[in-house]
Amino acid sequence: ATHTPSIPRNYPSITPPYPTLIQNLNHVRSVLKRPLTLAEKILYSHLHDPVHSLGNGRRIRGEAYLQLKPERVAMQDASAQMALLQFMSAGLDRCAVPTSIHCDHLIQASDGAEADLKRSIISNQEVFDFLESAARKFGIEFWRPGSGIIHQIVLENYAAPGMLMLGTDSHTPNAGGLGMLAIGVGGADAVDAMTGTPWELKAPQIVGVHLTGSLSGWTTTKDLILHLAGKLTVRGGTGRIIEYFGPGVHSQSCTGLATIANMGAEVGATTSTFPYTSNMRGYLHATGRGPVAQAADEAAGKGFLSADDGAEYDEVIEINLSDLEPTINGPFTPDLATPLSKFGAFVKEQGWKDEMSAGLIGSCTNSSYEDMTRVADLARQAKAAGLTTKVPFLCTPGSEQIRATMERDNVTSTLQDVGAVVLANACGPCIGQWKREDKKGEENAILTSFNRNFKSRNDGNRYTMNFLASPTVVTAMAFSGSLSFNPMTDSLTLDSGNRFKFSPPSGQDLPSTGFTPGDTSFYPLPTPEPQPDAEVIIQKDSQRLELLEPFTSPFNDGNLELPPLKVLMRVRGKCTTDHISAAGPWLKYKGHLTNISENLLITAVNDEGGDVNVAFDHDAPSGITETDTIPGVAKRLKGRNQPWALVVDENYGEGSAREHAALQPRFYGCNLIVARSFARIHETNLKKQGVLPLWFADKTDYSRIGSGDMIETVGLANLLQGHPDAIIKLRVTNRGGEIFEIPTNHTMSIDQIKWLHAGSALNHIRSQMK
Ligand code: F3S
């Protein structure tokens, strides 16, 4: 199908600058002089300084830090709030790269598309108004509520072979289905790209997955990634890019590859990618991007869009697609993989009720035209036999274009005929926005074609066991209502007493008459011009949004050592970004720093006493040491204009790239965190917000500093004067009056020193603009 839908396009902004990228790569090749994987080609061609960055060709993967120049940014409505507030405080009047905002996470699922959309728009109006007005001011493409899910829209409109993109959502890698690198990041990283600041990434290792054979019958690309998740586990991809290659790649549809790339996030991979295929070309044409396909064809002709012969991977995994069978993963973790043929026995073994309570299909992971037509094929077979689904059966289209095309081609009516409820084009039940009325607090089992299945993820009920499977397996099982039903081998009894067995589903990867765009009022203008005079709307007294006040530099008085800092507490053990800034009900305050800071470290353990969310105020006006919550004591110190420090344990800040975990302590007056060790991303986030991270040179010094002690830096001035090899010591005056010095290490680069000096990276960028 080469039908062009009537969605406006701006081809320069959606076509990667292939000639420049290839030229950059040639510089790198002349240094490295070895065959490169596809992922390396995409990364190295996007280096900020391709001529000098890779030095003498020393070992890069897993070791070097790359300074990269992403081509595009995409943000969803929840994470875009703080990203935009930070971007605004940099004082620029436009984004350095094309950027888009997608309203999808804040849409609820309860009564069906239309009613849900209306209600969600009303309850989130102030957030949508803010996002839309900021988009207008800075020239960002704004995809209204109802337009679809970020990853599906990116695949349909922006993704292109060989591109490097950042997205503020963990399933951003979905766009890898079009042979690019799309990486999920926190808002502060997105702001790097939006302000044109080099974005830093530790060069990932590259895992090669060699695909041979072919999928058939019931088996889909979803089963491939479910199988791989079982093999690699939720941590197997950490710090690695998964690069697929081999003949098995070329027989898959582009959207099928996107499903695989999407769920690479479930094994912790940085992202996933595939060499350019003729199906990718077909998908680009079908989605109205013929000129992008043509440019990609030329770039592929120059060897840019696949690995070089002889390229080496850090590990190679062999998968013969012909050996795969449908797989069901879960509950509660995406790496607990059970082949469909063994699933009934597994359920029995566990002693679970042999009952499925709901089936959910669609989402960003599996709502392609191919998925939907295959599912409709099963629905048609069932309807002809007089069957309807036994359990609630919900379908979330990934985009307005998919929804409208499904409707036009009678896919929707076929699903509704057997009992399906079609929800709004949004995340809905995938992100806990499912207002489920049954099974509250009860153990029950649902099957979804989504990607994540942590406890409570879908309906907020921690007793809901959530299993992941392909859309066709979910659908077929919804007609049986039993977990042990295997549609490949089992049959169902009809009212007539006859038996009915499904034939393997078949579908079409692209609509033969092309896609139809549906309601185009949801769509943005292609690369809208910034309107500097436009006002960014934040309601007065808003509880959800608050402008960010730039942080003040502690060196404004000319003294290049930090002011004397009070130690707030010594944090014991594991302290992830979730401990530092909890999620759940706090998510609604993502755009309001004052409100969300009330959750600072509320699940952290105080090493002095071992209690959670307990801290001590040694300078209370009462004259005695008072006990309060951690945010409580932080607020007291802020109220007294007393800057403070934290002492923390190993791998502080592991988990996610959530920038709130760095913004919040800084907001309350934290200037220094001394750790046994830091998680790298969080350490960089601290530096961006103007907090100095130091490492104990001797880890046993951790227990020598306690709450209420005073810390002064010695040697920081040297660092700030531009000497990255300066040694910084801490002079500690403990509560007993004893004074001693502690040696530390730091990882500050020349650029990061400038951030610290300015009080934050954004302050530095703003001063550069001036
Ligand atoms: Fe949304 Fe779920 Fe995907 S939350 S972006 S549909 S993973």
Contact in structure between 57 and 33 (CB atoms under 8 Å): yes
Catalytic residue among 77, 100, 102, 104: 104
Show which of 202, 226, 251 is a domain's final residue.
Answer: 202
**Pair (495, 574) in one structural domain:** no
Distance 362 CA to ligand 1 centre (A): 10
Are 130 and 536 a contacting pair, CB within 8 Å? Answer: yes
pTM: 0.93
- Specify whether the CB–CB gap between 143 and 524 falls below 8 A: yes
**For a pocket test of ligand 1, which of 100, 108, 143, 363 has the largest count of ligand atoms closer than 8 A to its C-beta?**
363
Active-site residue flag, 656? yes
**Closest C-alpha to 86, from 769, 766, 672:** 766
CB contact at 8 A, 728 and 744: yes
Contact 178, 213 (CB under 8 A): no
Most ligand 1 atoms within 8 A of CB, residue of 120, 367, 450 to mutate: 450
* Number of structural domains in the chain: 3
What ipTM score was computed for the predicted complex, to two decimals? 0.98
- My answer on whether 595 and 741 are in the same domain is yes
* Residue 673 and residue 651 in contact, taking contact as beta carbons nearer than 8 Å: no
- Please tell me whether residues 487 and 578 are part of one structural domain: no
Candidate from 430, 448, 449 with most ligand 1 atoms within 8 A of CB, to mutate: 430
| Residue 25 in domain | no
Residue 646's identity, in one-letter code, is L
Residue 263 CA to residue 231 CA, distance in Å, equals 13
* Closest to 600 (Cα-Cα) out of 544, 652, 552, 666: 666
CATH code of the domain in which 113 resides? 3.30.499.10
Asked about 658 being catalytic, the answer comes back as yes
Amino acid at 91: G
Q: What is the DSSP-derived secondary structure letter of residue 761?
A: H
b/e for 278-300, b at 16 or more Cβ within 10 A?
Answer: ebbbbbbbbbbbbebbebbeebb
The residue annotated as part of the active site, out of 374, 403, 658, 666, is 658
User: H or E element: which one contains 225?
Assistant: helix 221-232
Q: How far is CA 204 from CA 69, 73, 183, 492, 654, in A?
A: 16, 20, 12, 49, 17
Cα(75) to ligand 1 centroid in Å equals 12
* CA 155 / ligand 1 centre spacing (Å): 14
Contacts of 37 (CB under 8 A, 6+ apart): 206, 208, 243, 307, 308, 311, 312, 313
Count of beta carbons in the 10 Å neighbourhood of residue 584: 11
* Cβ-contact 421, 412 below 8 angstroms: no
Same domain, yes or no, for 335 and 428?
yes
The residue with tokens 């940099």 is 90
Same domain, yes or no, for 634 and 692? yes
Q: Say which DSSP state 198 is in.
A: P
The residues lining ligand 1, judged by C-beta closer than 6 Å to any ligand atom, are 104-105, 149-151, 169, 171, 363-364, 427, 430-431, 450-451
What tokens does 745 get? 């290490």
Same domain assignment for residues 735 and 634: yes
Strands 99-102 and 72-76, bridge-based pairing? parallel
Residues 6+ apart with CB under 8 A from 197: 191, 761, 765
In a domain, 600, yes or no: yes
Task: Give me the average pLDDT of each 10-residue run along the chain (770 residues).
Answer: 61 94 96 95 96 77 92 96 95 95 90 89 95 97 96 97 96 98 94 94 95 96 98 91 98 98 94 98 96 98 98 97 97 96 98 98 97 98 98 96 97 98 91 88 97 88 96 98 98 96 97 94 88 95 96 97 98 93 86 97 97 97 97 98 97 88 98 95 94 98 98 98 95 97 95 95 89
- The count of other CB atoms within 10 Å of the CB of residue 322 is 12
**Catalytic residue chosen out of the listed positions 656, 682, 701, 707:** 656
Size of the chain in residues = 770
Which of 452, 457, 544, 570 is labelled catalytic?
452
For residue 198, give its domain range.
70-202
Q: Which atom of ligand 1 is nearest to the CA of 363?
A: 6
One-letter amino acid identity for 353?
A: K
- The residues, ordered by sequence, that sit 6+ positions from 230 with a Cβ below 8 Å of its Cβ are 327, 329, 335, 336, 337
Q: 202 pairs with which residues across the strands?
A: 65
Question: Ligand 1 center to residue 218 CA distance, Å?
Answer: 24
Q: Residue 763's domain is classified under what CATH number?
A: 3.20.19.10
Question: Residue 105 catalytic?
Answer: yes
* Same structural domain, 473 and 372: yes
- To the query of whether residue 452 is one of the catalytic residues in this protein, the response is yes
Catalytic residue among 9, 61, 102, 105: 105
Contact of 744 with 694, CB cutoff 8 Å:
yes
Query: Do the domain assignments include residue 81?
Result: yes
Pair (467, 395) in one structural domain: yes
Atom of ligand 1 nearest to the CA of 104: 1
What are the start-end ranges of the H helices in 362-478? 369-384, 400-408, 411-417, 471-478
Q: How far is ligand 1, taken at its centre, from the CA of residue 491, in Å?
A: 33
**DSSP codes, 92-111:** -SS-SS-EEEE--TT--BSS
Distance 149 CA to ligand 1 centre (A): 7
CB distance 364 to 479 below 8 Å: no
3-state secondary structure 499-562: EECCCCCCCCCCCCCCCCCCCHHHCCCCCCCCCCCCCCCCCCCCCCECCCCCCCCCCCCCCCCC
Q: Note whether residue 301 is domain-resident.
A: no
* Ligand 1 atom index nearest CA of 76: 5
What six digits make up the tokens of 518?
Answer: 């549906």
My answer on whether 664 and 579 are in the same domain is yes
- Which of 105-122 are b and which e, b meaning 16 or more Cβ less than 10 Å from the residue's Cβ? bbbbbbeebeebbeebbe
- The question of whether 169 is a catalytic residue gets the answer yes
Residue nearest to atom 1 of ligand 1 (CA): 427
Q: How far is the CA of 586 from the centre of ligand 1 (A)?
A: 19
> What is residue 680's predicted lDDT score, i.e. its pLDDT?
83
- Indicate whether 629 belongs to any domain: yes
Last residue of some domain: 174, 202, 230?
A: 202
Q: Is residue 347 part of a domain?
A: yes
Catalytic residue chosen out of the listed positions 116, 169, 192, 223: 169
Domain shared by 508 and 576, yes or no: no
Nearest partner of 666 among 700, 701, 693, 690, judged by Cα: 690
Query: Which positions ≥6 away from 242 have C-beta within 8 Å?
Result: 207, 209, 264, 267, 269, 271, 272, 273
| d(CA 83, ligand 1 centre) in Å | 19
Find the 601 Cα to ligand 1 centroid distance in Å.
27
Same domain? For 677 and 745 the reply is yes
Q: Do you find a cis peptide bond into 331, omega within 30 degrees of 0?
A: yes
Cα–Cα distance for residue pair 471/476, rounded to 1 Å: 9
Could you tell me the strand order of the sheet in which 444-448 lies? 337-339, 327-329, 464-468, 444-448, 358-362, 393-396, 420-422
The sign of the torsion formed by the CA atoms of 764, 765, 766, 770 equals: positive
Which pLDDT does position 289 carry in this prediction?
A: 95
**Residue 666 falls within a domain, yes or no?**
yes
Residue 272 within a domain: no
Pairwise CA distance, residues 712 & 562, whole Å: 7
Q: How far apart are CA 249 and CA 440, in angstroms?
A: 43
Q: Return d(Cα 493, Cα 385) in angstroms, integer.
A: 10
Best residue among 151, 222, 366, 587 to mutate for probing ligand 1, ranked by most atoms within 8 Å of CB: 151
Instruction: Say yes or no: 511 and 569 in one domain.
Output: no
Mutate which of 103, 104, 262, 402 for ligand 1 pocket (most atoms within 8 A of beta carbon): 104
SS3 272: strand
Q: Is 165 helix (H, G, I), strand (E, B) or coil?
A: strand
3-state SS, residue 706: coil
Catalytic status, residue 9: no
Which residue's CA lies nearest to atom 3 of ligand 1? Answer: 364
Residue at a domain's end among 151, 169, 202 = 202
In DSSP terms, 569 is beta-bridged to 646
Tokens 């064809």 found at: 297
